[in-house]
Amino acid sequence: MEAFNYYNPTRLINGKDKQQEIGKILKEDGIEHVLLVFGKSSIKRSGLYDELVSILTDKGIRFTDHGGVKSNPVLSHTREGIQKVKENNVQAVLAVGGGSVVDESKAIAAGALWDGDVWDLFKGQKTNKALPLYTILTLSATGSEMNSGAVVTNEETLEKFSFSSPATFPKVSIVNAAFTFGLPMDYMAYSAVDAITHTLEVYFTAQEMPLLKRRFIENIVLTVMETTNKIIKDPKDYDSRAEFALASTWALNGLTTIGVGKYSFPNHMIEHSLSAIFDVPHGAGLAVVLPAWMKWYKEKNTKAFERFAKEVFGLDTADQGIVALEDWFLSIGAPTKLDALNVGVIDNKEVAENAFLTSKKWGMSDVYSIETISDILDIAR
């Protein structure tokens, strides 16, 4: 087993109506003014916005609105948020939404205490300072509610980059799975694909992995699949929603990679370029890239692919396991071919060059050549 250093101080609160606790939590932490970060109008339509305004007002906590976060959050809007923090003497960030809102909020929280431009952090500069971040999750998928990473797109350069800091773990994350009752089923499918991909990238790229970890990941994948199937049948199945939420948090809060040898995230790297250029939903892009990458990669870790087929699908060969996963993606309504993304002509070279440059800039351990990425995209046609 590899040496590790695991640290995750996020308090994770999960339950019906738990958003009601946010006022008390902020008050106890001495917070008097928050930046309220959210996406489009869904939290206004659902009544959650009004509920939070009432909770904050009751506790005498002021707030500055920062709505309009995009589903692939962008740098210009992040900078606007930082500006609002500085102008309004804001002490904390309250993110209300899914992974995109949480990611932009992390960038705002760190950027607000960073002397230069926030994009410096995405280009590799390090910070240990951030405003305290609180999140109320309305969509489970990215795991961002319990890790320190954030991905933001620079719209000018079409770079979708990430950063993390020990200071950007949310202090408290509140998950009320009932908020996801109204989620359109295609987005439910994308969420499932995202959570599964977070674990499978590690599972397949790490050559050395204790059985404890292999089984842990298989458990998460099985749980995501089982609960997704139940949610599609009965969208108001709260227990399945809550279990899905927990599995997707576990998929990327550090637990899957403890003690694991070298691993990488090539599918995320390729998908980030797809969505930076074509603005496709992250999970939809992953559903296309992952099966193609698996077909291309399978000989590099045959044992893991065979084990995956057997433990997750009860099948015998690596190929059967890949096809079963692809079929399952299709069965829940996720696209598995580039054409099915419906974003017009996708040029291999444009995506591959972007992904190649991005992975080099990220300092990824396993940088794929432009030709390799192009080959993988071909398999997805």
**Interface with a copy of itself by CB under 8 A: which residues?**
1-16, 18, 210-212, 215-216, 219-220, 222-223, 226, 239, 242-243, 246-247, 255, 258-259
Q: What is the DSSP string of 145-208?
A: GGSSEEEEEETTTTEEEEEE-GGGS-SEEEE-GGGGTT--HHHHHHHHHHHHHHHHHHHHH-S-
Strand pairing partners for 35? Answer: 64, 93
Least distance in angstroms from the C-beta of 138 to a copy of itself:
17
Which residue, 247 or 346, is less far from a copy of itself as judged by CB? 247
Give dist(CA 265, CA 232) in Å, integer.
28
Angstrom distances, CA of residue 105 to CA of 29, 119, 135, 144, 280: 18, 14, 9, 10, 21
Which residue, 55 or 246, is less far from a copy of itself as judged by CB? 246
Which residue, 8 or 54, is less far from a copy of itself as judged by CB? 8
Which residue, 7 or 363, is less far from a copy of itself as judged by CB? 7
Which residue, 50 or 208, is less far from a copy of itself as judged by CB? 208
Residue 194: name the closest of 28, 71, 10 by CA.
71
69 φ/ψ angles, rounded to the nearest 5 degrees: -65, 135
Which residue, 108 or 141, is less far from a copy of itself as judged by CB? 141
Give dist(CA 143, CA 265) in Å, integer.
15
Least distance in angstroms from the C-beta of 41 to a copy of itself:
28
Which residue, 159 or 243, is less far from a copy of itself as judged by CB? 243
* Angle CA 221–223–225, to nearest 5: 70
Contact in structure between 34 and 91 (CB atoms under 8 Å): yes
Name the burial class of residue 46, with classes exposed (0-12), middle (13-18) and buried (19+) by CB atoms within 10 angstroms of its CB: middle
Which residue, 219 or 372, is less far from a copy of itself as judged by CB? 219
Residue in this structure with the two tokens 């939809």, named with its chain if needed: 284
Q: Are strands 92-97 and 172-175 parallel, antiparallel or unpaired?
A: unpaired
Least distance in angstroms from the C-beta of 19 to a copy of itself:
12
Least distance in angstroms from the C-beta of 352 to a copy of itself:
37
For residue 381, the tally of other CB atoms under 10 A from its CB is: 11
Least distance in angstroms from the C-beta of 215 to a copy of itself:
4
Least distance in angstroms from the C-beta of 190 to a copy of itself:
21
Which residue, 246 or 364, is less far from a copy of itself as judged by CB? 246
Least distance in angstroms from the C-beta of 39 to a copy of itself:
25
Residue 48: name the closest of 176, 236, 144 by CA.
176
Least distance in angstroms from the C-beta of 184 to a copy of itself:
23
Give dist(CA 201, CA 89) in Å, integer.
41
Least distance in angstroms from the C-beta of 22 to a copy of itself:
13
Contacts of 320 by beta carbon, 8 Å cutoff, 6+ apart? 309, 313
The 3-state DSSP class for residue 74 equals strand
